[in-house]
Structure 1
Amino acid sequence: MDKLRMGVLGCSGHYSLRVSTPLKSSLLIEPYAVASRDAAKAKKYAKTWGFEKSYGSYEDLLSDPNVDFVYIPLPNHLHLQYIKKAADAGKAILCEKPLCLNAKEAAQAASYCQKKKVPLMEAFMYRFHPQWIRAYEIARSGELGEVMGTGGVFSYDNKDPSNIRNIASAGGGALLDIGCYTVSSARYLMGAEPKKVVANALRDSAFKTDTYVSAILDFGNGKSSTFTIGTQIFPYQRVTAYGTGGDLSIDVPFNMYGDVPGVVTVSQGVGTRVIQTEIADQYLLEFDSFAQALIEKTEVPTPIQDAINNMAVIDALFASASSGKWEAVAKL
């Protein structure tokens, strides 16, 4: 079977650091073309990371009939624009998280691609890792009793003013960059959508981006999730789920290494056990799962409504951080 030819919009540091090496093992995907608004930069990037073709504009790549699907790791504020352009070109789309800047844009992107009959998926790689699949199975099995809540922490330290994550106009800030993970994982483990949220946020006086956020997601019936995220504090991450009969935790929930087993720690009345899941690269699993859906012409593995729902929660968190009050989560 011929591999699907992938086009990448942008000379992404994320792609070169985390995706390029795993994809060398893919039996389904060929990194075929890369585009930049700087042709020389694209040519150098293509040579370094093994792309056959390079283009000096995103539009030129999208017009290449040999490109089967595109991966969009562009800055957040460009996602909707290039989702639409890729859809116009008839290309299937795997777009980095967050899908768009807000739920209204996410719903617009989903509707646009549906009308163009083009598959669209948000790239949340963590859900493909065996440690998360096992954690989800445990949470849903009843082994923890009734899951009443989750807690999450995700942080890093980045004070570079030129970094895209610190540029407000490009969709930078903690909630959009890493809060999307803590919201997504809470919804995933709870198996439900929060009804209302409350958040407290600290903003950088120069960047104008949110740099530290603490939040509560209220799922109703006494169930809630809490999380803390930060972009200017010590790097740390952890997710825990609490039930009436036990709890589980994942020590490296999001930036999991691809060359060591995943670890899920489960505690119940009879004791604590440490579950090691198979060694796997979550980016390879994510990209291959997306490609497999394209090949088999089935639904993409992460439904696009999930992206819309995640953005609706983030919208409510931004509103709460501004109002200082509980804010309802809109349904789109």
Structure 2
Amino acid sequence: MDKVNWGILGTARIAEQQLIPAMQSAVNAHLLGVASRNETQANAYAQHNGIERAYGSYAQLLADPDIDAVYIPLPNDLHAEWTLQAAQAGKHVLCEKPAALNAAQAREMVQACAAHDVVFMEAFMYPFHPQWDRVRELLNSGELGELKIVHANFSYPLENPADIRWHPQMGGGSLYDVGCYCVHVARSLADNAPTVEVQGIAQFMEDGVVDKSFTGAFKFANGLLAHFDCSFEAADRQFVEIVGSRGSIQVLYPFRPDMGTPTLIVHGPSGEHRETFPTTDMYKLQVEHFGDCVQSQQTPRNTGEDSIRNMEHIDALYTAAGRQS
């Protein structure tokens, strides 16, 4: 196929703001359709965003033989259900983060996609930004010595009490929403080494399920220590610090570099310097990478096994923090 024909399940804001422009500009993508549980809403959304086809149900989109792949930006509690449905329909799946509500769901999703020979990828877009290629280059150069500590944070004030991110049955909570990035980057920088210790402390809502703020720590088998915090109550902030035995890197906009000027502050044996990066559409790069994987049957950069491992760590954090089941 010259281009991957995409369908979107749902009319989420992230799709309209980020993924639709990415799909419409990616060299190997064609955004063909969007589905909603409300046909009128689907038609209006499609017309507003220049999408050819609208469907009054998710199942109707999955039944369209012209659709090759689907993007799933549905609430967290629906990720597993519709990934399984998409796999059974033979559609490749780009699923919003977090992949699922727990590792068991993630494992079922990944296995279903493998069984039906379709690509599955969790939509962590930040690794596709060039600043992370540069971070890897600096780490691999040995200039900073042996990696010792990673600190990450991601927070923003979520002031609307009706937002689904506060909803216990829909997979609400700051760890699911933004802490998953911190977990992912820590594991990535640890080169997916086994975790030997997990600590978690949360400020839960009265239901004991949805975390307003969360702080966690990992000790990896290779000696790396990582700690993070995330919150729906704290001010807008995102930051990653990577500390080696001979130097460090501060990543000022690690997860949403589109919200500022992507900058690395590098402290090394020869002193300190800053590196900035031009505006880059990491969502477009993600869509093109996924399309390449579909067209050439490659394994995605964000593998299904990685999604399972990320959810295992989130499960362990919630257990450590005493989350109510």
Q: TM-score range by the shorter chain?
A: over 0.9
Q: What is the aligned partner in structure 1 of residue 4 from structure 2? A: 4
Q: What is the aligned partner in structure 1 of residue 279 from structure 2? A: 279
Structure 1 pair 223/2, CA: closer, same or farther in 2 (3 Å)?
A: closer
Structure 1 pair 22/41, CA: closer, same or farther in 2 (3 Å)?
A: same
Distance in 1 separating the partners of 2:41 and 2:222: 54
CA contact (8 A) 1:4 1:30 kept: yes
1:190 partnered with 2:197: no
**Aligned-residue offset at 1:141:** 3.0
Alignment of 1:114-153 (within 5 A): 114-153=114-153
Alignment of 1:11-90 (within 5 A): 11-90=11-90
Q: What is the aligned partner in structure 2 of residue 320 from structure 1? A: 320
**Aligned-residue offset at 1:208:** 4.6
Distance in 1 separating the partners of 2:300 and 2:191: 19
Distance in 2 separating the partners of 1:4 and 1:244: 45
CA contact (8 A) 1:23 1:284 kept: yes
Q: What is the aligned partner in structure 2 of residue 263 from structure 1? A: 263
Q: CA RMSD in A?
A: 1.7
**Aligned-residue offset at 1:195:** 2.1
Distance in 1 separating the partners of 2:139 and 2:189: 6
Q: Which amino acid counterpart does residue 137 of structure 1 have in structure 2?
A: E
Distance in 1 separating the partners of 2:221 and 2:83: 35
CA contact (8 A) 1:31 1:50 kept: no
After TM superposition, the structure 1 stretch with the greater mean CA deviation from structure 2, 134-143 or 209-218, is 134-143
**Aligned-residue offset at 1:272:** 0.7
Q: Which amino acid counterpart does residue 201 of structure 2 have in structure 1?
A: N
Distance in 1 separating the partners of 2:26 and 2:277: 21
Q: What is the aligned partner in structure 1 of residue 154 from structure 2? A: 154
Structure 1 pair 231/261, CA: closer, same or farther in 2 (3 Å)?
A: closer
SS in 2 for 1:46: helix
Distance in 2 separating the partners of 1:220 and 1:93: 32
CA contact (8 A) 2:154 2:237 kept: yes
Q: Specify every segment of 5 or more residues in structure 2 that has no aligned partner in the other structure, as ranges.
A: none
Q: What is the aligned partner in structure 1 of residue 249 from structure 2? A: 248
Aligned residues: 322
Q: Which amino acid counterpart does residue 287 of structure 2 have in structure 1?
A: F
SS in 1 for 2:235: strand
SS in 2 for 1:111: helix
Distance in 2 separating the partners of 1:253 and 1:82: 30
Q: Which amino acid counterpart does residue 113 of structure 2 have in structure 1?
A: C
Q: Normalization by structure 1: what TM-score? A: 0.93
CA contact (8 A) 1:159 1:166 kept: no
Distance in 1 separating the partners of 2:187 and 2:207: 33
Q: Which amino acid counterpart does residue 195 of structure 1 have in structure 2?
A: V
Distance in 2 separating the partners of 1:24 and 1:222: 44
Distance in 2 separating the partners of 1:298 and 1:206: 43
Distance in 2 separating the partners of 1:39 and 1:178: 31
Q: What is the aligned partner in structure 2 of residue 223 from structure 1? A: 224
The CA deviation string for residues 277-298 of structure 1, in whole angstroms up to 9 with x for no partner, is 3431110000110001111222
**Percent identity of equivalent pairs:** 36
Q: What is the aligned partner in structure 2 of residue 327 from structure 1? A: none
Q: What is the aligned partner in structure 1 of residue 203 from structure 2? A: 202
Distance in 1 separating the partners of 2:140 and 2:187: 13
After TM superposition, the structure 1 stretch with the greater mean CA deviation from structure 2, 268-277 or 83-92, is 268-277
Distance in 1 separating the partners of 2:300 and 2:315: 25
Q: Which amino acid counterpart does residue 288 of structure 1 have in structure 2?
A: E
Q: What is the aligned partner in structure 2 of residue 168 from structure 1? A: 168
Q: What is the aligned partner in structure 2 of residue 328 from structure 1? A: none
Q: Which amino acid counterpart does residue 40 of structure 1 have in structure 2?
A: T
Q: Specify every segment of 5 or more residues in structure 1 that has no aligned partner in the other structure, as ranges.
A: 324-332
CA contact (8 A) 2:253 2:261 kept: no
CA contact (8 A) 2:197 2:220 kept: yes
CA contact (8 A) 2:92 2:120 kept: yes
SS in 1 for 2:40: helix
Distance in 1 separating the partners of 2:246 and 2:184: 23
Distance in 1 separating the partners of 2:271 and 2:22: 37
Q: Normalization by structure 2: what TM-score? A: 0.95
Structure 1 pair 192/4, CA: closer, same or farther in 2 (3 Å)?
A: closer
SS in 1 for 2:206: coil
